[in-house]
């Protein structure tokens, strides 16, 4: 399966053309007191991007998934280790365990690497979230029994099956404005070296009092050529200048409607490279984004869409036993859960390749400039998606 075969390809090309047309240096003026009647363009650098959650007590009626220690014990027991052997191994937990849990799969009776071969053990049947509160959008237009209600907008029929798959792992749960542990670590650890994600909103108009007016705007999601810089508090420094990376695959431009200070985009296809430590690339179809323009110049909002589920699995698997035992996750279990709960874009065999997911976006103000059309960065070839199983 190649990139251009995907249904969204046509939309991508259109977006690309629009991206180029935005052309040369856009001056992101921070108004020196003047409230101009003309349309404004504002730039931002994304400070946080992580799976959204508003975890509920009734998400996991049978309790959350096993913590790593009991999970490790169970794995050892299933592998046939005696209690004495297990206690000895636990003396230097978890480093002594790493070797054991890797090869717990079985292919043709022989031990197999569970991460490259998650189906080499039977489905561990991890607990999945049963609740009905999650941020996001109604992507398929339907309101079914597996859908959620968005606590911010009240929207019904919200599609976020990724939360169902992951929401009973404690390091994926969060509520009340907290960030879930693992998604936050993933982002925070990579942002020092990862070129920044930047957002440009153009066509903003203000009334006589300087308040943002309702209307149409254009939103661009780009990658910059430089990472964010950390300030004294460890957060991204605001008001830095960024240049757009001209890689045509990361020119995500879409129309949005601004109402009461929050914009909501039309559905679009979203593609951004992140970092192989987390998720190498984020690719969403039928993406919807809503962003609130805060008074202090920051942005906060939600992105919802269908993303390939296999890379989500891979973001857990790539860390192998270190992830499993330090984050209390069962990678193989996640594989099965994501596969079962994937809810869009079936392949020839009817297996859904994409899963609905919602993410928080937070951004600080920044300046964005588009380089001359002549100067383009190296175009990266299409990324081969791993074959779904």
Partner 1 sequence: MTGKGMMRRLALCGAVAALCLTGFTGQSKADGDAAGQVAMRRLTQDQYKQIINDIFGPTVTLGGRFEPDLRDSGLLAVGAAQVSVTAAGLEQYDLMARSIATQVVDEKHRPLLVGCKPASETAPDDACSKAFLSKVGKLLYRRPLTQHELDAEVAAANAATVKTGSFYNGLGLSLAGMLEAPEFLFRQEAVEPDPDHAGAYRLDAYSKASRLSFFLWNAAPDPELLAAAQNGDLNSSSGLKKQVDRLMASPRLEAGVRAFFGDMLAFDGFSTLAKDTTLYPKFTSQVLRDAQEQTMRTIVDHLLVQKADYRDLFTTNKTFLTPLLASIYKVQASFPEGVQDPWVAFEYPADVPQAGILTEASFVGLHSHPGRSSATIRGKALRTVLLCQKVPDPPGNVNFNLVQDTNNPNYKTARQRLEAHRTQPSCAGCHKIMDPVGLAMENFDTIGGFRTTENGAPIDASGELDGAKFSDVAGLGKAVHDNPAATACIVNRVYEFGAGHAPNKSETEWVRGTLAKDFASGGYKFTDLLKDVATSDVFYRASAPQTGALDTPKAKLASDVTGNQEVQK
Which chain residues interact with partner 1 by CB under 8 A?
Answer: 27-28, 30, 32-33, 225-226, 229, 231-233, 235, 237-241, 243, 367, 369
Cβ nearer to partner 1, comparing 27 with 387: 27
Cβ nearer to partner 1, comparing 139 with 364: 364
Tell the smallest beta-carbon distance from residue 247 to partner 1 (Å). Answer: 15
Determine the distance from the C-alpha atom of residue 1 to the mean position of all C-alpha atoms in its chain, rounded to a whole number: 23
Q: How far is CA 339 from CA 27, 207, 389, in A?
A: 46, 49, 9
Tell the smallest beta-carbon distance from residue 49 to partner 1 (Å). Answer: 20
Cβ nearer to partner 1, comparing 238 with 256: 238
C-alpha to C-alpha distance for 319 and 316, rounded to whole angstroms: 6
Answer yes or no: are the C-beta atoms of 299 and 199 closer than 8 Å: yes
Cβ nearer to partner 1, comparing 267 with 371: 371
Tell the smallest beta-carbon distance from residue 34 to partner 1 (Å). Answer: 8
Tell the smallest beta-carbon distance from residue 278 to partner 1 (Å). Answer: 24
Query: What is 213-280 written as a DSSP string?
Result: PSEEEEEEEEEBSS---B-TTSSBPTTEEEEB---GGGEEEEEEEEETTEEEEPPEEEEEE--TTS-S
Cβ nearer to partner 1, comparing 33 with 350: 33
Q: How far is CA 60 from CA 100, 294, 362, in A?
A: 29, 34, 28
Cβ nearer to partner 1, comparing 83 with 210: 210
Pair type for strands 240-243 and 352-369: parallel
Tell the smallest beta-carbon distance from residue 229 to partner 1 (Å). Answer: 7
Cβ nearer to partner 1, comparing 92 with 296: 296
Tell the smallest beta-carbon distance from residue 30 to partner 1 (Å). Answer: 5
Tell the smallest beta-carbon distance from residue 367 to partner 1 (Å). Answer: 3
Nearest to 241 by CA among 278, 282, 298, 198: 198
Residue 32 CB-density burial (10 A; 0-12 exposed, 13-18 middle, 19+ buried): exposed
**DSSP assigned state of 289:** E
Tokens of 278: 């987390």
């Amino acid at each position: 399966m190649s990139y251009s075969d995907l249904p969204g390809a046509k939309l991508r090309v259109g977006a690309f053309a629009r991206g180029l047309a935005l052309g040369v240096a856009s001056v992101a003026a921070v108004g020196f007191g003047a409230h101009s009647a003309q349309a404004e363009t504002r730039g931002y650098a994304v400070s946080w991007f992580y799976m959204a959650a508003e975890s509920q007590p009734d998400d996991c009626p049978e309790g959350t998934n096993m913590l790593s220690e009991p999970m490790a014990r169970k794995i050892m027991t299933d592998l046939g280790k005696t209690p004495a052997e297990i206690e000895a191994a636990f003396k230097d937990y978890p480093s002594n365990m790493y070797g054991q849990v890797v090869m717990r799969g079985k292919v043709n009776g022989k031990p197999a690497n569970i991460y490259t071969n998650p189906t080499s053990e039977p489905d561990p049947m991890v607990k999945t979230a049963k609740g009905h509160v999650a941020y996001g959008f109604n992507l398929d237009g339907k309101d079914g029994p597996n859908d959620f209600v968005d606590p911010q907008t009240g929207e019904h029929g919200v599609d976020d099956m990724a939360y169902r798959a992951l929401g009973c792992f404690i390091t994926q749960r969060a509520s009340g404005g907290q960030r879930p542990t693992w998604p936050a670590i993933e982002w925070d650890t990579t942002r020092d070296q990862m070129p920044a994600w930047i957002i440009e909103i153009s066509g903003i108009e203000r009334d006589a009092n300087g308040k943002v007016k309702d209307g149409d705007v254009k939103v661009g999601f780009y990658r910059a050529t430089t990472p964010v810089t950390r300030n004294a508090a460890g957060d991204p420094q605001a008001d830095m200048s960024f240049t757009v990376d001209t890689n045509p695959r990361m020119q995500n431009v879409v129309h949005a409607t601004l109402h009461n200070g929050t914009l909501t985009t039309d559905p679009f296809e979203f593609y951004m490279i992140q970092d192989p430590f987390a998720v190498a690339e984020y690719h969403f179809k039928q993406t919807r984004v809503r962003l609130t323009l805060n008074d202090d110049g920051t942005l906060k909002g939600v992105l919802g869409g269908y993303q390939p589920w296999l890379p989500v699995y891979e973001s857990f698997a790539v860390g192998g036993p270190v992830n499993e035992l330090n984050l209390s996750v069962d990678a193989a279990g996640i594989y099965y859960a994501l596969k079962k709960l994937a809810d869009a874009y079936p392949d020839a065999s009817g297996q859904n390749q994409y899963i609905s997911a919602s993410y928080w976006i937070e951004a600080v103000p920044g300046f964005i400039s588009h380089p001359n059309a002549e100067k383009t960065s190296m175009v990266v070839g299409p990324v081969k998606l791993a074959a779904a199983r």
